[in-house]
Amino acid sequence: MSRVPDIAPETFSPAQREIYDRMMASRPNGKLLGPSSLWIRDANLAAATGQMAKVLRQDGKLNAPLFEMITLIVARQWTAHYVWVVHAKEAARVGLEPAVVEAIRARRSPPFANERLAAIYDMTQELVETKQLSDATYARALALFGVDLILEIVTAVGFYTLVCMTLKTFDAPAPDDAKPLD
């Protein structure tokens, strides 16, 4: 049970209705859930966060497995059940190895055969745990990804931190009230 009730679509302002209609066009289940169900309370926030999500998920340079791994690391750090449930399914769909997903869930370092995955894992873990990036980790990331992709990685970590903070603050339930994280 969320700390705030959902807003009935029939009470939306014109700006909220416009954002809501755009959001619903991309939701095959016909439901506005998670952080969007909260951000819709403010049309400007909903528009800005929706645009950021689109830039990261659809227009970004990170391939889908790398992006989903970042999202899962942040969700694990925050014990954000909603984000975990949604993105663990997406991670499976885009081919992130189940052993990697399970290791993140269990707070273990995953086995990586791919240096890029390992570097992004280490970079993301360091950011969420220490709130900074060491010179050594930055140099490794720079050699593998370059400045532009590092910026995108950091932005994804920050955006999903915002998502998790929003969900945790308002106690938004995960789909089917699932609690896959301890």
C-alpha neighbours within 13 Å on the C-beta side of residue 162: 15
> Which residue type is seen at 170?
F
Whether 116 maps to a domain, the answer reads yes
Q: Which domain holds residue 30?
A: 9-57
- Say what the pLDDT of residue 30 is: 76
Summarize pLDDT for 146-181 with one digit per residue, the tens. Answer: 999 999 999 999 999 999 999 999 998 888 888 989
Residues 126 and 38 in one domain: no
Whether 4 maps to a domain, the answer reads no
Summarize pLDDT for 103-114 with one digit per residue, the tens. Answer: 999 999 998 988
Residues 52 and 74 in one domain: no
Q: How many domains does the chain have?
A: 2
Summarize pLDDT for 51-63 with one digit per residue, the tens. Answer: 999 999 999 999 9
CATH number at residue 119: 1.20.1290.10
Whether 182 maps to a domain, the answer reads no
- Say what the pLDDT of residue 147 is: 97
CA distances, 146 to each of 46, 130, 157 (Å)? 31, 22, 17
Residues 47 and 15 in one domain: yes
Nearest to 62 by CA among 1, 132, 124, 134: 124
Alpha-helical segments (H) within 106-134: 115-130
Q: What is the dihedral of CA 70, 173, 28, 180, to 10 degrees?
A: 50
Residues 157 and 89 in one domain: yes
Residues 87 and 117 in one domain: yes
Residues 76 and 27 in one domain: no
Whether 2 maps to a domain, the answer reads no
Query: What values do phi and psi take at 61, rounded to 5?
Result: -90, -20
Residues 84 and 169 in one domain: yes
The residue behind tokens 């984000």 is 83
Residue 83 has pLDDT above 90, yes or no: yes
Token pair listed for 107: 């707070």
